[in-house]
Chain A
Amino acid sequence: MNRTFDICIVGSGITGSIVADHFLSKGLSVVMVERGKNAYLPQSARELWHERWEKISDNPLITKNSWKGASEYFDDLVEIENVNSDFAFHYNMKYGLGGSGAVWSAASWRLTPQDFQTKSLFGYSRDWPFTYDDLAPYYDKVEEMFFTSGPKEEPSWPWKNNYTYPPFKQSYLDKVVSKIFAPEFEILPNAFSVKNIPPSEGGCIGSKTCVRYCPTEAVFRPQIHLLDKHLNNPRFNLIMGAPCMKINLKKERSLESITILQDDAKRDIRAKYFFLAANTIENLRILHNSKDTGNGPVADSSGLLGSFFASHGALVTSVITEPILYTGRGRPTTSSAINTLNHGERDRINAYMMEIWNFDWNIALSPIAVFRTFRAKERHWGRTLFEKTREADRRFAATLIFELEMRRDNKVTLSKVKDKFGLPLAKVDFTLGLRDKETFDYLRELTNLIKKKDKIVDIQIKGYGLNGNHPLGGYVCGEDPNNSVVDGYMRSHDHANLYILGGGAFNSTGALNPTHTIAALALRAVNDRRIVF
């Protein structure tokens, strides 16, 4: 095919959908390439998309789908190889329409202003080439786009937001825990990308399933909320089940095309501008697997491609209280300890934040599920099984999420192991730095402090490690081409028509879920004035 599209997007997740929506709305032609076929969609939505898919299948670029067997792709996990087993990065991403960068439990956070200047303020990680104030207008747009609900007049809230919907009320459990944890932890209502309006009008119904999907679509889903309106647009070309094999350059180093594998045949797709909008690991894999004119990887004249890779640390605790908490009611989470984000010791300890869960992670919501889990996993029986199940009504999960220092030594390269398409897997070489270890120890001590609090019966650390949903860094941003991979608009320093989106462009991790920042960066990128037609 000799057609040249205006925009080529690799990946159909949140960032890819934002890019597609932006340029389709401007009347430009867009081709979107998705490696997977489906993910995280309830049956009803799959059928809906199946029908819509058929409507545009006469387009020669559209792969004939295999939606009826789509369920087999549910476990199409992104595979990676870890170099170090301690704090290994167990990547949770899946390939599929809409991506797997879901807004986890709909939690919708911005980075704090300090997060953009950690190097100059505290001496670690990297400063971003722009400030929080520069990104704030894009955060506003993201919150509107994601129909986010959250507090506006909360004095302790670190940001000034203009949320579309009011905040969810704190659960009874949150209120009890707030009193117990005060004054060290100030537990405030969260912001969520969920419509907080009456269920009859399409709002949240309090189902615990919003991590994966929402029966009322009150939770943001990029493929539904951003792409649906374009599915009958003849300028929108969606190719599914087609991995991007490599990037092809012209002599002057701008991108000419990408090579995809479609129906077991390789084909090139040409465009004026290219947006790598796959997950961070996949973006790095494509770049590493493509050759620049000097035979090194694409976009790597700085030699930093893959470096400064990080994620978030997590310490999951199970807390048992004296009072009954009536667990498992309302949303899975409504509150977090906001005040820990700027704890005043950041020259020594990374930022951290405590999330309060209205049910215990890994032990599901209902008493029956608790009963079954205690039997199956811990082999309890008799009175112990009975008492443990009852105790679950006085138990909640407190997850301590903490920032990790972005260090050059932590990197993503290519593995010798190849996937089913013959592409090398990504190899992750990550170890904790000194600051990270000190933060981890500090948080473990913190659990001892919680244990001594009045009305706390027990607190146990249930698990810890790297957050497998938050790959950050790897193509860090900056003004200096010798010290960064992309600029402040996520454009490659080396290739003028290549934008690399996602968490890989982060210069510091902060301690909060990164999805809103990733989306804000994508909006900033598509508004780069250097993109001209």
Chain B
Amino acid sequence: MPVTRRSFLQFLFYSFTFLSTGCSDDKAREIEDFDINAVVAEKTFSSFLNVIFPFHLPGFRNFSHELHKRLKRLKKHETEVIINAYQLFKEKYVPFGEESVSKGEKILSRLLKDKTTEEQTNRALDIIYDNISKLRGFGHSLWGREYSKAGEMCQYWESYDKAP
């Protein structure tokens, strides 16, 4: 993994924290294994998300950035699930130009078919899709138009007999 400016600064921060406050082995392992900020910053993680949802398509690129923000705010047990699934993906993933997405799909498909990895991969996907569905304006982009909500007036009540 290349040493980025961010990861170098994180290293300095944690080193200083450990030296000044002390830290158990377990705690050190937890931070090392489940640092969602570091994971989200990885280029491969973006590829992982592009396999999960086609954020690379026009109209969806900005949602990827927003999703990163949401994932960073998840609770610890949820980030653990995502990072575990991501690590499984990352072990097998090698970027290959334009075919990267389809290669990633094959890897994810295998993880979802393998009984030893199926459950945790699906749990991670559920959390990610739940967060994708909560992105502001995502529903609008899915259908390319506004949509009606329960208990509220139809968005197209005056013109529902015509194409929008």
Contacts and interface: CB of A to CB of B under 8 A. Distances in A.
Interface of A: 42, 169-172, 175, 199, 205-209, 215, 324, 326, 328-331, 365-368, 370-372, 375-376, 379, 381-383, 385-386, 389-390, 393
Contacts of B129: 371-372, 375, 381, 385
A199 to B, nearest CB: 6
Interface in B129-143: 129-130, 132-133, 138-139, 142-143
Contacts of A390: 142-143
Given A172-B163, A367-B139, A393-B143, A386 B53 contact: yes
A511 B155 CA distance: 33
Nearest to A206: B154
Contacts of A169: 160-161
Nearest to B155: A329
Contacts of A383: 54, 105
B88 interface: no
A303 to B, nearest CB: 48
Contacts of B153: 199, 205-207
Contacts of A205: 152-154, 157
Contact of B149 (A329, A366, A371): A366
A371 B161 CA distance: 25
B157 A206 contact: yes
B147 A328 contact: yes
Nearest to A42: B151
Contacts of B147: 328, 365-367
Contact of B160 (A209, A330, A370, A371): A330
Contact of A329 (B125, B138, B154): B154
Contact of B108 (A375, A376, A382): A382
Contacts of A171: 160-161
A329 B148 contact: yes
Nearest to B139: A368
Contact of A326 (B132, B152, B164): B164
11 contacts: A169-B160, A171-B161, A172-B160, A206-B153, A206-B156, A207-B154, A328-B148, A330-B156, A330-B161, A372-B130, A386-B54
> Which of B130, B148, B153 is most buried by chain A, counting CB atoms within 10 A of its CB?
B148
Given A206-B148, A206-B153, A328-B147, 17 more contacts: A169-B161, A199-B153, A205-B153, A205-B154, A209-B151, A330-B161, A366-B139, A366-B149, A367-B142, A371-B129, A371-B139, A372-B130, A381-B52, A382-B108, A385-B129, A386-B53, A386-B142
B156 A329 contact: yes
A74 B143 CA distance: 34
Contacts of B156: 206, 326, 329-330
Nearest to A199: B153
Contacts of B152: 205, 207, 215
Contacts of A207: 148, 150-154
A195 to B, nearest CB: 14
A171 B164 CA distance: 12
A371 B129 CA distance: 9
Interface of B: 51-54, 105, 108, 112, 122, 125-126, 129-130, 132-133, 138-139, 142-143, 145, 147-157, 160-164
> Which of B129, B138, B145, B160 is most buried by chain A, counting CB atoms within 10 A of its CB?
B160
B149 A375 contact: no
Contact of B142 (A175, A371, A376): A371
B150 A208 contact: yes
> Which of A328, A365, A389 is most buried by chain B, counting CB atoms within 10 A of its CB?
A328
A368 B132 CA distance: 10
A393 B141 CA distance: 13
A172 B122 CA distance: 38
Contacts of B143: 367, 390, 393
A323 to B, nearest CB: 9
B112 A381 contact: yes
A208 B147 CA distance: 12
The 7 residue pairs across chains A and B that have the minimum distance between CB atoms: A206-B154, A330-B160, A367-B142, A205-B153, A368-B139, A329-B160, A206-B157
B91 to A, nearest CB: 19
A330 B164 CA distance: 12
Contact of A199 (B105, B108, B157): B157
A206 B132 CA distance: 28
B54 A208 contact: no
Contacts of B154: 205-207, 329-331
B161 A172 contact: yes
A169 B138 CA distance: 30
B108 A381 contact: yes
Contacts of A170: 161
Contact of A368 (B53, B122, B142): B142
Contacts of B112: 381
A42 to B, nearest CB: 8
A175 B153 CA distance: 22
A370 B160 CA distance: 20
B162 A365 contact: no
Contacts of A199: 153, 157
Nearest to B161: A169
B161 A175 contact: yes
A205 B148 CA distance: 11
> Which of B139, B143, B151, B152 is most buried by chain A, counting CB atoms within 10 A of its CB?
B143
Nearest to A393: B143
Contacts of A389: 142
Contacts of B161: 169-172, 175, 330
A526 B58 CA distance: 65
Contacts of B150: 207-209, 365
A329 to B, nearest CB: 4
